[in-house]
Structure 1
Amino acid sequence: MHKTTTILLMVLLPLVSWSQEADSAYEYYEEPAIYRATETRYFDLIHTDLEVSFDWSKEQLIGKAELVLKPLFYAQQDVTLDAKAMMINSVTLKGKQNQKLSYEYDGYDLQVKLDRMYERTDTLTLIIDYIARPNEWKGTGSEAITQEKGLYFINSDGSDPYKPQQIWTQGETESNSVWFPTLDYPNERCTQEISMTVQDRFRTLSNGVLIEQVKVNDSTRIDTWRLDTPHAPYLFMMSIGEYAVIEDKWKDIPLAYHVEKEYAEDAKAIFGHTPEMIGFFSDVLGVDFPWPKYDQVVVRDFVSGAMENTTASVFMEQLQVSKKELLDSHWDDIIAHELFHQWFGDYVTCESWSNLTLNEGFASYSEYLWNEHKYGLDEADYNFINDRESYFEEAAEDPKDLLRYYYEDKEDMFDRHSYNKGAAVLHMLRNYVGDEAFFAALNLYLEENALESVELANLRMAFEEVSGEDLNWFFDQWYFFPGHPEIVVTETFENDSLTLLVQQIQSEDFPTYKLPLFVEIWQGEESETYPIILESEVETYQFAMKEEPSLVIFDTERQLLAEVNHAKSPEALAFQMSHSDRFESRMEVMEALAEISDKKLIQQILIQALKDPFYAIKQYALNYMIDNKVKIKKYESLVLACLKDESSQVRSYTLSYLAETDFEEYLEEFKKALEDESYLVQSTALTYLFEYDLPVDPKLIAGLSAEKNINVVLAMSAYYLKQDGEDSFDWFEEKIKVVDDETLYFLLHSYSEKLIKASDARRKAAVSTYAEIAKNHPTYYTRLSAYQGLVLMSDLEGVSDLLDEIKESETDERLKEYYDQF
């Protein structure tokens, strides 16, 4: 599972902590603050065979499930299945003479009374005839997974011409039991076969391989998919839609990318690194991709960022972009994340949600591994530091154990601790044991636990067997305690001796950590690296040397998950900028610029930053120059060189700096930028040209007006805000129908601004658009944007009542609290 992360979410999440109230007839709440044991297994689920068809008008699934089970050890006379919000028609024991069985059903548990006592040597097959009614079930949801309906119909009646008809499923954590009866726990595992009856125009996808397609009549067929390797029920999936399917392969493993037909030509650009990723991960893990095929499908209105269903990952619609959009940003991180789950999560599965980081921590760390391999260490460190800072923000408000056996709801486990902290801990473990031992231990962990469910001890024992060291100290302090080290480093030099005073100042509720690390000491152009191990709250280290060091870098590898305060002189920072090859060390200098008053040192650092090989350092320098109104004179050649940088981000920042410096002087650069291959750069140039009311080629405006790229749409919205004709309103109305969630959030705000001065007739027409989004859009922050737009039109008749109606119908606690302010 990959969490959706955007600036929007980071801004809006603080409104209130996540909670979505279950309001169906089949509500289910777990008791808070109790021990969350691994689910007790009474039966072993051997195989699941599903035959399903769909009632689009009712948004229901008509199903028949055959479950092959056997008692795990103790004899059993009844079996309890998870089956949420279903209509159960019958339960039958399969045999020579199929026998109807009695059962009790409360909308959550299906308790079946068997015909006799079954021993562990017995196998039985249950046939359940049922109707799945996903709209009757609303779970609590989470920050990572916003709904728990399990089965989703998109544009079910086909009334929305801007949205395709689709069906897709999302099973994590325990939502697949909304659409088929099962034992819905991560420590269960079975093989599967799914037969889907669909209209002939649709393409289907499920786990495993397509083994049969049978025509029922001129318009209907049955597709049967089979996976002969057992996996957890939460990883079952289906998707149905009118897709273009682009084939690829890794060795003899078939791969496919399922996208809407409009993006058929872009699919390989979006997902094209997949074969290389599979090869890289297979090599470093020493375990080849363990499944018979791998599909990736993009769906509309997905309830998360992505999901790692076995052999078939599902992604949110934002991945559908053009080749030109990929020049500004790519989706490799999320693609790598879901792919790595095929080993960590699908092949070896956490035995309980308390152990979720064994799935998500590894998947998040795969992003680092891929970036390091493909794009270099700076890129890997840059993204990793951002994720680490995101964890620090969460930990500041609510520090938690990484491995948690006490939580209110299983969905609470999908947080920045399980993902970001989990990845950071693995990174420290890698640095401690070394690359060779790290990957040898991962190989052992995968091979010893293949197709099994695991807990943290399995991972620890693999590392201990490879390294030969008792690693309880490492696993205990990082997995079983909340928080992280907060360290103050003080350096002094006197009497030919450098003294480092290192203090751990974190709360006494957190442990005093054992922290192996390196200290790098520079004298002139030479450096020495010293290993140290912190084990006490206060420690002192002394290093004999004849002259004061030019620079001291604590934690040379920048691998600690710790907040470190190490005061350095401006001169040391300038030296660090030109001598350290680690991204975090250089970024540390950039972030300290505001505290430096020496103009010569600032100039020295900025010159070095503008020459830096990594784009993010250049961006930070340009942003600093904008914020501090740094004149261009001493930097002109370097700044103009940035206009030709390979990074569109750098080119865009450079234009912004030139606009703030002397727009008229560099006007030609903005005109040239209109021909840039990057949407981002074009959009930046357009924004300033529009701001100064300068003419732009009408053909270019017409062409860009049709685009859905977020940067282009926001630039063009600034243009249409200034236009008076009715067609300028029509542009907003039409664009609102076709853009993605994030773009829509901003566009609704922009259109609200335009509507303030619009006619009452136009505003009244807009009310219905905003109301529909505020009531029904699947993304909470988009509903918020629409609601805010309606507030600006509350002087119109009936809008105040409409706002009250929306408040009453809203189920997201974050929005309910916000709406109550009005």
Structure 2
Amino acid sequence: MKNFLFVLWMSCYLPVTAQVSATTDTLWKQQFRGSEARINDLVHVRLELKPDFVSRSMAGKAWITLKPHFYPTDSLCLDAKKMVIEKVGIVSDKGDITPLKYIYKDSARLYIRLNKLYAGNEKYQVYIAYKARDNEERTDNASVEPAYKGLHFINPDGKDKEVPAQCWTHGQTEYTSYWAPVIDRPNQRATTEIALTVPAKFVSLSNGTLAGKQDNPDGTRTDRWKMEQPHAPFLFFIGAGDFKLITDKYKNIPVSYYIPTAYESTANRIFGRTPAIMEFFSEKFGMEYPWSKLSLITGHQFGAAGMENTTAVLFTDNMLKNERQLTDETADEDVIVHEIAHQWLGDLVTPESWSNLFLSEAFATYSEYLWKEHVYGKEVAEQDIYKLLSKYTEDPRNSKKALARHYYRYRESLFDAVSYNKGACVLHLLRNYVGDDAFFQAVKLYLKRYSFQSVEASDLREAFEEVTGQDLNWFWNQWFYNPGHPVLDINYSYNDVKKEVMVTVSQTQQTGSIFKLPVYIDVYTGGQKQRHKVWVDNNQATFSFPADQKPTLVNFDGDRTLVCERKENKTTAEYVFQYQYSDKQADKIDAVVYALQHTSDGDAAKFLLAVIQDDKASYRYKELILKAFKSSGVPDNFVGETEKIAAGSKHASNRALAAELLGNLRQQKYIPLFEQALKDSSYTVAGAALNALAKIDQARAIAVLPDLRKDNRGALSAAIAKVEVFTKTDADFDNMYATFTSQDLRAAYDENFNTMFNFITYMKGVKDMDHFKKAVGAVMAFRTRITPYSMELKGMIDDALLAVKTSKQEQGVKDHVKLIEKELHDSK
């Protein structure tokens, strides 16, 4: 599963600290979470399901074939969450159903007394009639259980003409049991057969192939979906709704895209690379696409970016874009690549427990790198893996977590930058260490050996050891089983008397572990590069190399594949040389970052100006520079280049950044530039231009709103809402207040982030004291709820409130000023 956490903003996924800040419960730290004991094994699950869009419920009948795993048993426990259980029975060979005794405990588990003692591997079949319901409940803490779990009906009565009627399910981690009684564990596998009865006007989707369909007298249709290969319960899926079905194929394998009619014209631009992605991974992994079909569908209000249900991948409807939206750079292709890669790594070969989740998510995330490397080149791929590593290392809490994590409080907490980002970076490191041929041969062996099986980290190690002939326990122990990463202090020196280069590497991490690091040191002298391979395996290691003259640059980890934090004693001149002559993107980005941290150094400032003026330089280097100016302001000698970027960069993200920066200068001369940018093909640029225009001439920004409302999405919609706030008065208070207070935390993060701050901005214009008191109370209540999850967001809310205070001081409204001062003071 791909989370928004890695697509939009790291804070979108509520941090783990939020869960423990309000409680002293640490019992989970003593509870080893291995794979679930297998008393009974699923064999085949046959379901007859009839979603009722009126009552937002679903009638279900299940015929579940099982067998004792090894030991004889006369009982069965199934997961069945929040269902109404109507009948439980044993099914005879003739199909007759004899009632069985059962206990339905806590609306979660169904304990069944079987009709006899079944021997190991002796198959039996149970029948369950039940009703499931829409999982409408929401939770502030998405790290416990996501709001989008289980079965969902969207706009079932069709009253919202902007939203197509749908139903869909989400099963990861253990949420299939909200709509189907199963043993809902990742180390179970079963073939499936699902008869799904839906309104005849809808199309349906489930795992496997459509084996038949039947029109019914009541205006419904029953579609029979058959999955002949076993897969894990969390990958089971049903979906139905008002979709347009677009067909495609990869070789002889059917491929289809379920698209709302409004996006039929852009369907191939959104999903059309799917066959090419399937072909690439079939070749790269050394194994053909392993399933009978692949369908991609979007779910309105689905809260993750994507979910790898076997043969039936579910995506957020944020993937749906019109032609104008598609001009913006997005992470949509990454999400598609990620979920398709899961069809091999996660679905075909499945982690036996959530403790080994990284085996799925690390591989799928690294597959994004592989695809970028293949299609866009190493430069783009290396820039992305640099971002992955930076996101992982920027949060110190991550260094306390291992990839193979057997102690955790909630399953959902495992979907983090350790499992995804660090995992992908470790695989990249492993590939560099063993070499390309060995890496992909080992992946091929791993997939072939464990197809349709559950695995743990040691299974992957054994595949790599068999291919390479090496004992790789040391690598697995330090990177997979132990937490953290090396934090390196690297010092370079040159002894002119001995004609010798010295490199001293200190491991300063506080985890108590010393890493064993095979690494290359590159020495640049006289226009030539000499490479030396060394092993760092102590807390401090010193290496010396002969050199007739002082090198222009000495570069530790020449391949830039180490998963580490690093501090080096390089000079500005050395970083500039590194930018110019290293072929590694991490080296170039490090040089830009160093210069941004040393802008008082004239040479560093000149280097940054040269980068931003260089037409051949990656737009991402320029993006780094422009983002830095958001907090520091645009230096005078960079204004001209910023104007050029705003007016003519090929990349919408940089045009938008430049417009934002110029808006902060609040100069009337930029009004024509911003008015022209309002017509930009990119909503992101148009949105940035509207915000910038409002800073200079609020009345003019308000005046253009009617035209902009005719075609607005994404960043432009957010900008319009922000400017509209300036038109609101006390007469709009009830509506503004209701919009702000009705959102839950997850929606505030994922869907309505700007709503929070628009409401606070609106408070600047509120005159009525009762309204103002009510508004301040609502904001402070929201601030209290958000504080355990994000201190950064709390700080942003405080800054916004202080801006309201300043505005009220300028207006001379002393009572309002005192109220804000008191609330902020009392909350400390």
Tell me whether the two structures share a fold, i.e. TM-score over 0.5.
yes
Would you say how many aligned residue pairs link Structure 1 and Structure 2?
A: 778
- C-alpha contact 1:357 1:402 (8 A) present in aligned 2: yes
Distance 1:140 1:688, change over 3 A: closer
Q: Which residue of 2 aligns with 1:99?
A: 98
Give the Cα separation in 2 of the matches to 1:15 and 1:190.
33
Which of 41, 48, 52 pairs up with 2:49? Answer: 52
Give the Cα separation in 1 of the matches to 2:772 and 2:245.
49
Does residue 82 of the first structure (1) align with residue 82 of the second (2)? Answer: no
The residue matched to 2:424 in structure 1 has which SS? helix
What pairs up with 1:176-325 in 2 under 5 angstroms? 176-217=176-217, 219-325=219-325
Compute the displacement of 1:76 (Å).
Answer: 1.7
Q: Which residue of 2 aligns with 1:560?
A: 562
- C-alpha contact 1:270 1:323 (8 A) present in aligned 2: no
Does residue 327 of the first structure (1) align with residue 330 of the second (2)? Answer: no
Q: Which residue of 1 aligns with 2:770?
A: 795
- C-alpha contact 2:87 2:129 (8 A) present in aligned 1: yes
- C-alpha contact 2:721 2:758 (8 A) present in aligned 1: no
The residue matched to 1:608 in structure 2 has which SS? helix
Q: Which residue of 1 aligns with 2:803?
A: none
Does residue 504 of the first structure (1) align with residue 507 of the second (2)? Answer: yes
Q: Which residue of 1 aligns with 2:624?
A: 620
Give the Cα separation in 1 of the matches to 2:386 and 2:677.
31
Give the Cα separation in 1 of the matches to 2:703 and 2:291.
50
Does residue 468 of the first structure (1) align with residue 469 of the second (2)? Answer: yes
Give the Cα separation in 2 of the matches to 1:589 and 1:182.
54
Q: Which residue of 1 aligns with 2:411?
A: 410
What pairs up with 1:665-814 in 2 under 5 angstroms? 670=674, 672-693=676-697, 702-717=706-721, 719-722=723-726, 724=727, 755=728, 758-759=729-730, 761-771=731-741, 773-774=742-743, 778=747, 792=763, 795-796=770-771, 814=789
Q: Which residue of 2 aligns with 1:569?
A: 571
Give the Cα separation in 2 of the matches to 1:637 and 1:470.
54
- C-alpha contact 1:481 1:510 (8 A) present in aligned 2: no
Q: Which residue of 1 aligns with 2:540?
A: 538
Give the Cα separation in 2 of the matches to 1:694 and 1:592.
38
Compute the displacement of 1:687 (Å).
Answer: 3.7
Compute the displacement of 1:608 (Å).
Answer: 3.5
- Cα RMSD of the aligned pairs, angstroms, is 3.6
- C-alpha contact 1:690 1:718 (8 A) present in aligned 2: no
Compute the displacement of 1:30 (Å).
Answer: 9.4
Q: Which residue of 1 aligns with 2:449?
A: 448
Does residue 648 of the first structure (1) align with residue 652 of the second (2)? Answer: yes
Distance 1:339 1:616, change over 3 A: same
Give the Cα separation in 2 of the matches to 1:700 and 1:254.
47
The residue matched to 2:394 in structure 1 has which SS? helix
Distance 1:94 1:139, change over 3 A: farther
Distance 1:603 1:187, change over 3 A: same
Q: Which residue of 2 aligns with 1:732?
A: none
- Give the letter aligned to residue 770 of structure 2: D
Q: Which residue of 1 aligns with 2:589?
A: 587
Distance 1:765 1:570, change over 3 A: closer
Give the Cα separation in 1 of the matches to 2:739 and 2:661.
38
The residue matched to 1:125 in structure 2 has which SS? strand
1:534-568 CA deviation, whole Å, 9 max, x = no partner?
11111111111111111111111111110011121
Give the Cα separation in 2 of the matches to 1:286 and 1:14.
37
Distance 1:769 1:144, change over 3 A: same
- Give the letter aligned to residue 502 of structure 1: V
Give the Cα separation in 2 of the matches to 1:812 and 1:488.
34
Compute the displacement of 1:52 (Å).
Answer: 0.9
Distance 1:282 1:7, change over 3 A: closer
- Give the letter aligned to residue 412 of structure 1: S
- C-alpha contact 2:142 2:746 (8 A) present in aligned 1: no
Give the Cα separation in 1 of the matches to 2:469 and 2:318.
46
- Give the letter aligned to residue 513 of structure 2: P
Compute the displacement of 1:397 (Å).
Answer: 6.2
Compute the displacement of 1:137 (Å).
Answer: 7.8
Distance 1:145 1:246, change over 3 A: farther
Structure 1: runs of 5+ lacking an equivalent: 22-28, 725-754
- C-alpha contact 2:611 2:622 (8 A) present in aligned 1: no
Query: Bigger shift: 701-710 or 281-290?
Result: 701-710
Give the Cα separation in 1 of the matches to 2:573 and 2:746.
54
Give the Cα separation in 2 of the matches to 1:116 and 1:697.
77
Distance 1:704 1:246, change over 3 A: farther
Compute the displacement of 1:661 (Å).
Answer: 7.4
Does residue 124 of the first structure (1) align with residue 93 of the second (2)? Answer: no
- Give the letter aligned to residue 436 of structure 2: D
The residue matched to 1:17 in structure 2 has which SS? helix
Which of 590, 601, 605 pairs up with 1:602? Answer: 605
Compute the displacement of 1:616 (Å).
Answer: 0.5
Q: Which residue of 2 aligns with 1:432?
A: 433
Give the Cα separation in 2 of the matches to 1:702 and 1:101.
66
- Give the letter aligned to residue 535 of structure 1: D
Give the Cα separation in 2 of the matches to 1:202 and 1:765.
35
Give the Cα separation in 2 of the matches to 1:628 and 1:776.
32
- C-alpha contact 2:520 2:532 (8 A) present in aligned 1: yes
1:93-151 CA deviation, whole Å, 9 max, x = no partner?
11234311111221222121122221235321111111124549889964496237411
Give the Cα separation in 1 of the matches to 2:484 and 2:746.
37
Query: Bigger shift: 113-122 or 458-467?
Result: 113-122
- Give the letter aligned to residue 325 of structure 1: Q
Query: Bigger shift: 636-645 or 94-103?
Result: 636-645
Give the Cα separation in 1 of the matches to 2:735 and 2:270.
38
1:269-288 CA deviation, whole Å, 9 max, x = no partner?
11122111111111111111
Give the Cα separation in 1 of the matches to 2:756 and 2:642.
46
- C-alpha contact 2:642 2:662 (8 A) present in aligned 1: no
Q: Which residue of 1 aligns with 2:378?
A: 377
1:662-697 CA deviation, whole Å, 9 max, x = no partner?
956676655554554333333334443444339989
Structure 2: runs of 5+ lacking an equivalent: 798-822
Distance 1:193 1:272, change over 3 A: same
Give the Cα separation in 2 of the matches to 1:803 and 1:467.
61
Give the Cα separation in 1 of the matches to 2:379 and 2:264.
33
Compute the displacement of 1:154 (Å).
Answer: 2.1
Does residue 154 of the first structure (1) align with residue 154 of the second (2)? Answer: yes
Distance 1:357 1:114, change over 3 A: same
The residue matched to 1:795 in structure 2 has which SS? helix
Distance 1:806 1:621, change over 3 A: closer
Give the Cα separation in 1 of the matches to 2:540 and 2:304.
44
Give the Cα separation in 2 of the matches to 1:764 and 1:658.
35
Give the Cα separation in 1 of the matches to 2:506 and 2:14.
34
1:404-453 CA deviation, whole Å, 9 max, x = no partner?
12222222222211111111111100010111111110000000111111
Does residue 69 of the first structure (1) align with residue 73 of the second (2)? Answer: no
- C-alpha contact 1:551 1:575 (8 A) present in aligned 2: yes
1:219-242 CA deviation, whole Å, 9 max, x = no partner?
211111111111001100111211
Give the Cα separation in 2 of the matches to 1:295 and 1:595.
51
Distance 1:335 1:520, change over 3 A: same
Distance 1:625 1:479, change over 3 A: closer
1:776-807 CA deviation, whole Å, 9 max, x = no partner?
98555657876777785782399589959998
Compute the displacement of 1:650 (Å).
Answer: 2.9
The residue matched to 1:407 in structure 2 has which SS? coil
Give the Cα separation in 1 of the matches to 2:773 and 2:607.
62
Compute the displacement of 1:37 (Å).
Answer: 2.3
The residue matched to 1:473 in structure 2 has which SS? helix
Distance 1:808 1:515, change over 3 A: closer
